[in-house]
């Protein structure tokens, strides 16, 4: 049975939080372990770190401020995040980036928080997990100033077009693919691009509890996505790439181990 690492799970402050033990256990039963718990603001990042201490080797976390929360960035944010990065189970800066689709934070504040976190990643030599939606021009312009000094950079939940794919690969980014690719309404373009992502750039994620794969049969009773569904996403991606599942899973697992430097932690 192939092994998987779910590189983006929203366990803190989500619908999954009430049933954590079962969520983690069911994922392990499907060979989905460890899980990378996403931090979307400073407080959530601190909570995610504490959660990881309860489930050593099964949970690791990121620490950062999502563009939706960029307006919360203040003089204390940097130091509080740096405290978290001292812990072995905090394995990346993020989720950070730009989101011009909803503009929950003013765009200048999004850009400032994004740059601040890229600076931290460079200073501490940490990989960065990023978010971008409807902001590729500014996102790329900012990232280009830091990319050469970053050890590794991941755009999670990639849903862009071919031009974006080419630009992100040119920047040597890893790309995370979610159940969006299983959505015949919105995911057709992503499905057409998945075969063109190099083996060594691809990672898999659920972004649970969001983005439940629409093509799952039988359809789950709950609309909540869960890490245990990652093998279904993997099979869909393998089919699109005309690649054996075992081969695809092995590449994605190795990429995730290397990106988050998990080899010595498991």
| C-alpha 178, offset from chain centre | 9
| Residue 156 in marked binding region | yes
Is residue 155 within 8 A of residue 203, CB to CB? The reply is no
Task: Compute how many other C-beta atoms are within 10 angstroms of the C-beta atom of residue 58.
Answer: 15
Separation CA 160–CA 133 (nearest Å)? 8
| Residue 184 in marked binding region | no
Architecture (CATH level 2) of domain 4-265: Alpha-Beta Barrel (3.20)
Spell out the per-residue pLDDT of the chain, length 266, in tens.
999 999 999 999 888 989 999 999 999 999 999 999 999 999 999 999 999 999 999 999 999 999 999 999 998 999 999 999 999 999 999 999 999 998 999 999 999 999 999 999 999 999 999 999 999 999 999 999 999 999 999 999 999 999 999 999 999 999 999 999 999 899 999 999 999 999 999 999 999 999 999 999 999 999 999 999 999 999 999 999 999 999 999 999 999 999 999 998 88
| Residue 95 in marked binding region | yes
| Residue 251 in marked binding region | no
Residue 108: CA count within 13 A, CB half-sphere? 0
Backbone phi and psi for residue 92, each to the nearest 5 degrees, phi listed first: -160, 155
Q: What is the pTM of this model?
A: 0.97
């Amino acid at each position: 049975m192939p092994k998987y690492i779910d590189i983006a799970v929203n366990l803190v402050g989500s619908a999954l939080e009430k049933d954590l033990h079962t969520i983690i256990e069911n994922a392990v039963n499907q060979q989905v372990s460890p899980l990378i718990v996403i931090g979307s603001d400073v407080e959530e990042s601190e909570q995610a770190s504490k959660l990881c201490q309860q489930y050593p080797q099964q949970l690791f976390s990121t620490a950062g401020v999502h563009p939706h929360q960029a307006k919360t960035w203040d003089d204390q944010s940097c130091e509080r995040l740096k405290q978290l990065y001292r812990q072995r189970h905090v394995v990346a800066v993020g989720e950070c980036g730009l989101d011009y689709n909803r503009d929950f934070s003013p765009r200048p504040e999004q850009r400032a928080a994004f740059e601040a976190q890229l600076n931290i990643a460079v200073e501490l030599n940490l990989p960065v997990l990023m978010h971008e939606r409807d902001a590729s021009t500014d996102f790329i312009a900012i990232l280009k100033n830091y990319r050469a000094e970053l050890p590794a950079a991941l755009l999670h939940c990639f849903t862009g077009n071919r031009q974006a794919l080419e630009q992100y690969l040119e920047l040597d980014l890893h790309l995370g693919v979610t159940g969006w690719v299983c959505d015949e309404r919105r995911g057709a373009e992503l499905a057409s691009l998945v075969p063109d992502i190099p083996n060594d750039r691809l990672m898999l994620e659920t972004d649970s509890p969001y983005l439940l794969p629409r093509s799952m049969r039988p359809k789950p009773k709950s609309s909540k996505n869960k890490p245990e569904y990652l093998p279904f996403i993997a099979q869909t991606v393998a089919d699109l790439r005309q690649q054996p599942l075992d081969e695809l899973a092995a590449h994605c697992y190795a990429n995730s181990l290397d990106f988050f430097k998990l080899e010595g932690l498991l």
